Each structure stands twice: as structure tokens, then as C-alpha cells.
Chains A and B, each alone.
Chain A
Amino acid sequence: MTEPLLKLEGVHTHIGQYHILHGVDLVVPQGQLTMLLGRNGAGKSTTLRTIMNLWQASAGRISFGGQDITRLSTPQVARLGIGYVPEEMGIFGQLTVEENMVLAARSGPMDDKRLEWIFELFPALRKFWKSRAGTLSGGQKQMLAIARAIIEPRKLLIVDEPSKGLAPAIINHLIEAFTQLKRTDTTILLVEQNFNFARSVGDSVAVMDDGKVVYSGEMATLAEDQALQQRLLGLSLDSHQ
């Protein structure tokens, strides 16, 4: 079993008077791409926001590389080497693509080789380098959001629903990009609703329901077991291809 890079133990989250996470236990193994699946409202995005401490856990423990990060502030969590792409992407629309990237390269000027690698992953970014990010299409914005998160080496990349609202051709491009990212030994945690996407790139999987993780294991195992998919997600992967 690979060492866990990120571990959530009995994490509860309240937002105002609402109790959203009811004791989440989640392990993200080092060097793997872990898919976090579940129906709408299961608590997937809340789990990611709780890891980043955008919403503070009311109980439980979150550890990253063995260090307890439960009470760290969001910037402190990010500075440990965690890149986060929220569901709404968080693009600074009034800044240019270049300025978005410059801001994300926190430790200094961007590394030219790494930037070239990103341009190979997402060629559109080179084309629109000097354009305002707000003028990009949805797919291009998603590419920028991911590029921004990886402009410096990260120990963990967390992405919330990267394929949401995108055309199939763009989704295939993202699948290719995540496949390449996996080859760089980047540990990735992805929330996704597109099961074809999930099966294409996922190594391990956790399924959430009603604020808890109800299943975790190998992605291949879930992909092959239609009865399990039906029980956990109310549908099978085949019906979504």
C-alpha cells in the first residue's frame, strides 16, 4: 500500500447551522490520482474546501505528509505545496493570462522550461497569453486554472469538477493533460461527475454519500463492477459513455 500523502480522519464541517460533513475518512495515496465521486450534494466540494480550510473543520483531523493541517490558514495550507482549482475556477478575469500565471508563481519568476511544458499541455494559453482571462472560453479558462495550479511544482493538486460544462473535445484534452501530469508523479485529488473521465484517469476512488465516504478502493475495481456502481452512485459507468 502506497503511503498516504493526505489523510482525513472523522472530519465534520458545519456551514452556519447546516451539518454538511459527517465524519469523512479519506486517504489520498502518494503519487496516485484519486477520484472523489458521489451524487450532487454528497459533500465532495465541501470536503475539498475543508482541506483548504476555506471552511474550517468543526471536528476531526486532516494531515498532509504526516503534518496536522486542520487548523492552518488557507495560505499556510497552500504554501505546503497544495494547488487548488475550485469548481468555479477562480480565474482573475480582469487580469491577463500572463498576469494570472505570474501571480500563481509565488516563489519568483516563472520557470521557462516548466512554462514551455504547460504550453505543450495547453497550447491555447500561449495564443491568448496577453489577453484578458475574462475573454477566454470555458474550456480555456479551465486550462488556465489548472495551468496556474501547476506553474510551480506541487505536492498535491486538488481539482473540483474540471470537466463541468465543457465540450467532449475539451474533456478529451483535459484527460490527456491529467494523464501527462500523472507521469510527473504529482499526487492528484479530483472531484468529478463525468464517469468516463473518472475511469480514464483515476487510480483510486472514494465515493461519498450524505457527507461521508461510503466506499474507497481501486478505480479499476469500481469500473468493472456495475452492481457496485448502481448501489453507490445509482448508475453504471457504461450508461455514461
Chain B
Amino acid sequence: MTTQVLEQNTGFKLSEWIDTRPHHFLLLLVGVLGFLAMVVYSWQHLAGIGVEPTLTAALGKAGSAWVTMTLAGLAMGLLIFIMASGMTLVFGLMHVLNLGHGAFITLGAFVGGSALAALSGMVHADSLLANLAAIALAIVAAMLVAGAGGLVFERLIVRPVYHDPLKQILVTVGGSIVILQLITVFWGPNEIPLARPASLLGSFSAGDIVLEKYRLLAVAVGLTIYAGMQAVINKTRIGLLIRAGVENQEMVENLGYRIKLLFIAVFMAGSALAAVGGVMWGLYDQLIHTHLGDLRMVQVIIVIIIGGLGSITGCFYGALLVGLLFNYLSLVAPAVADFASIGLMVAVLMWRPQGLIPVIRV
């Protein structure tokens, strides 16, 4: 209603503006929502400790709380993005809804955990560089194993059902059960503790602002993956092919490109990205178990839907919104924080059923 009045009075079209400048809109939305949440939190906090709340005092208190929770939210959002990016990439190009994606997250966590165990000397070394190198090697190992697993999964499970979405759901779920059982065979049924390297424990603090070290790493890895994906998609020939294939697969083949090879490469990349998410989330939780991936799949699917199925940029912003909203609400209204992402998804679907930044197909 407010939007309609605004449009009638000013000629300003909110939806058109969002379509042409989605990044501006989403950053503005995140900023405004976050700051409002922190003002409310600070108001509650000041009242709780017996100080008469005023807007000035609340704004002062809000600043540091906002920075702390924004970083926590960004870290959580980027961890979700890392896990979701592979799934949205696969859906965008191949139109395959791979509900077995969670199994690759779990596989990555276990392979990464084993690699870190094998590199315990580097993990426990009193050197940030050695610690980071151990994590990097664990991520590479997880990506290699999950990528190879993705190759087998695509050939055996996904390829026979490319044009049947219902069967895709059934067989990818079935395939994930097989992978999880194999993980149980290799690593056993018990939870495995995963210790963070010494230099990534604890936090930095400046005044009231507290920045957890591992979350900073998660932000750095998430932003690096997003920037890398954008660079590959927008600056390389393979990215050009992927963008063209998302729009019109048949025409890509008419130009002489074998789209099936591209499908295999993208599926392997998607599985490898899931594995990176598994390693990072395993270190975040400091515990790995066979349900790690499945538990994260709810959030993964939510951010993909919010962002627009198949959209990498949409997935990025969707994940940030989910991560930030959860963290802000954890302070202001903890009781509803767990349901916030579902509420956000419902709100976005009612407003823009195609998602925030939809993919356009022929």
C-alpha cells in the first residue's frame, strides 16, 4: 500500500529500481534493518540495567553492538553462501535440484577433518601461517575428493534424470543416503571433535566491539569464493559459456560446444564448493558428524529460494540476509531467531516469487 502511494505520488517504481540496482537495494535493506535492530536492542539493554533509555544513549550503545553482530552475521551468512553456492550454480546451468548436495558438505567436513588430523603438527604450531596452510591443505583435499565424488554422482545418479525434476529429487536424496552410509563405513558412526588451530581461537576486541578470529577467516574465505566465482563467471570464456548455457542450452550446442562436458565440470565444481563449506562449518562447530550437511541444507535451500533459483549473486545476498537477520534477532527477540530465515523466505516469496535477483532463461 505504502509502495503504491509512493509510486503514484512520485512516479518512483520500487520494483523497477530493485531490478536495475539489486545490490544497492539489498545493502540498504541490510544496513537499515541491522541498525534498527541494534537501536531496539540497546534500548532494551539500557532499560534492563536500570538506565533511563534515551535515543542518544541507545544510538551510542548500538554502534558497537551493530559492528559485533554484523560481523557475526556476515560470517554465518558467508558460511551458508559457501555451502549454497555450488547448489545454485548446478541448478542455474543444469536445472538439476540436487538434494544430495548436503552429503557433499558432510563428505568435505570428514575429509577435511582427516586432513587436519594428518597435519596436526601444522595445526598445533604456534604460527598463524602454518595454521592457515593446514586449513588450506584440508580444503584442497576435501575439494579433490568431493569433486571426484561429484563426477561419479553426476554420471551414475544425475545424468539419467536430467529432464525429470521429480526423479531428480528422489534419486539425489537416495544418492545422498548412499554417500552418508559410505562415510559411516569409513569414519564410523560417532561424532568427531575438530579442534581449531591455536591462532584462530579467541577474539579481537576494541572497546565494546568483539571480533571472533575464526569468523574473520570465514568472512575472508566467503568473500574470496564469491569474488572468485564472479571473476570466473564474468571474465572468462568458461564463465561466458555457463551464462549462455543458463539462458539457452540448445543454442550453446548449436554453436559447437559440448554442453555435457560443461555440465560435468560445473557439477564437480558445485560438489567441491560444498566440501569447502563442510570444512569451514566443521571448524566453526568444532564437531563433525554424518548429519552436518543435512542440517545445513534447510538454510541452503532457503537462501537459494530467497536469492532466486540458480542466481549466484542472489544466493550471496540471500545468505547474508539470513545470517544477519538471525544474529540481529538473536539479540532483540531470541525466541523468533530460529524461525527468522523461514519468515524471510515467506516474505520474499509473497513479494517477489522469482526471488531477489532471478535468473532469466529462454
Chain A positions near chain B (C-beta within 8 angstroms): 52, 54, 73-75, 78-79, 84, 86, 88, 90, 92-95, 99, 102-104, 106, 134, 148
Q: Which residues of A contact B360 (CB under 8 A)?
A: 93-94, 134
Q: A94-B360, A99-B240 are in contact. Are A73 and B258 (CB under 8 A)?
A: yes
**B6-51, CB < 8 A from A:** none
Of chain B, the residue at the smallest CB distance from A134 is B360
B87 CB to nearest chain A CB (Å): 21
The 10 tightest CB contacts between A and B, nearest first, are A90-B251, A78-B256, A74-B253, A79-B256, A92-B244, A75-B258, A84-B254, A75-B256, A106-B256, A92-B247
B243 within 8 Å of A (CB atoms): yes
C-alpha spacing A74/B248, complex, angstroms: 14
Most buried by A among B253, B255, B360, B362: B255
A-contact bits for B152-173, CB 8 A (1 contact / 0 none): 0000000000000000000000
C-alpha spacing A84/B256, complex, angstroms: 10
Q: Which residue in B243, B251, B252, B255 is a CB contact (below 8 Å) of A94?
A: B243
Most buried by A among B237, B248, B250, B251: B251
Of chain A, the residue at the smallest CB distance from B247 is A92
26 contacts between A and B (CB under 8 A): A52-B254, A73-B253, A74-B254, A75-B253, A75-B257, A75-B258, A75-B259, A78-B256, A86-B250, A86-B251, A90-B248, A90-B251, A90-B254, A90-B362, A92-B247, A93-B360, A93-B362, A94-B247, A95-B240, A95-B244, A95-B247, A102-B237, A103-B255, A106-B255, A106-B257, A134-B360
How many A-B pairs fall under 8 Å by CB? 59
Q: Which residues of A contact B349 (CB under 8 A)?
A: none
Q: Which residues of B contact A54 (CB under 8 A)?
A: 250, 253-254
Most buried by A among B248, B250, B254: B254
Cβ of B241 and Cβ of A103 under 8 Å apart?
Answer: yes
Which range holds the interface residue count of chain B?
10 to 19
A114 CB to nearest chain B CB (Å): 16
Most buried by A among B250, B256, B258: B256
Supplied contacts A90-B362, A95-B240, A103-B241, 6 more A-B pairs, CB within 8 Å:
A52-B254, A73-B253, A74-B253, A74-B254, A78-B254, A103-B255
Q: Which residues of B contact A92 (CB under 8 A)?
A: 243-244, 247-248, 251
C-alpha spacing A86/B244, complex, angstroms: 16
Q: Which residues of A contact B253 (CB under 8 A)?
A: 54, 73-75, 78
Q: Which residues of B contact A73 (CB under 8 A)?
A: 253, 258
Q: Which residues of B contact A84 (CB under 8 A)?
A: 254
C-alpha spacing A54/B255, complex, angstroms: 12
Q: Which residues of A contact B240 (CB under 8 A)?
A: 95, 99, 102-103
Cβ of B243 and Cβ of A95 under 8 Å apart?
Answer: yes
**B247-289, CB < 8 A from A:** 247-248, 250-259
A109 CB to nearest chain B CB (Å): 11
Chain B positions near chain A (C-beta within 8 angstroms): 237, 240-241, 243-244, 247-248, 250-259, 360, 362
C-alpha spacing A73/B258, complex, angstroms: 9
A47 CB to nearest chain B CB (Å): 15
C-alpha spacing A99/B252, complex, angstroms: 13
Q: Which residues of B contact A99 (CB under 8 A)?
A: 240, 243
Cβ of B243 and Cβ of A78 under 8 Å apart?
Answer: no
Q: A54-B250, A92-B251 are in contact. Are A103 and B244 (CB under 8 A)?
A: yes
Of chain A, the residue at the smallest CB distance from B361 is A94
A89 CB to nearest chain B CB (Å): 9
C-alpha spacing A186/B119, complex, angstroms: 63
C-alpha spacing A90/B253, complex, angstroms: 11
Of chain B, the residue at the smallest CB distance from A152 is B256
Q: Which residues of B contact A134 (CB under 8 A)?
A: 360
C-alpha spacing A102/B256, complex, angstroms: 13
A75 CB to nearest chain B CB (Å): 5
Q: Which residues of A contact B244 (CB under 8 A)?
A: 92, 95, 103
C-alpha spacing A54/B253, complex, angstroms: 9
B220 CB to nearest chain A CB (Å): 30
C-alpha spacing A104/B120, complex, angstroms: 50
A55 CB to nearest chain B CB (Å): 11
Q: Which residues of A contact B251 (CB under 8 A)?
A: 86, 90, 92
Q: A94-B247, A102-B240 are in contact. Are A78 and B258 (CB under 8 A)?
A: no
A117 CB to nearest chain B CB (Å): 20
C-alpha spacing A104/B244, complex, angstroms: 11
C-alpha spacing A94/B358, complex, angstroms: 12
Cβ of B250 and Cβ of A93 under 8 Å apart?
Answer: no
C-alpha spacing A52/B237, complex, angstroms: 24
C-alpha spacing A109/B258, complex, angstroms: 19
A97 CB to nearest chain B CB (Å): 13
A15 CB to nearest chain B CB (Å): 14
C-alpha spacing A93/B159, complex, angstroms: 28
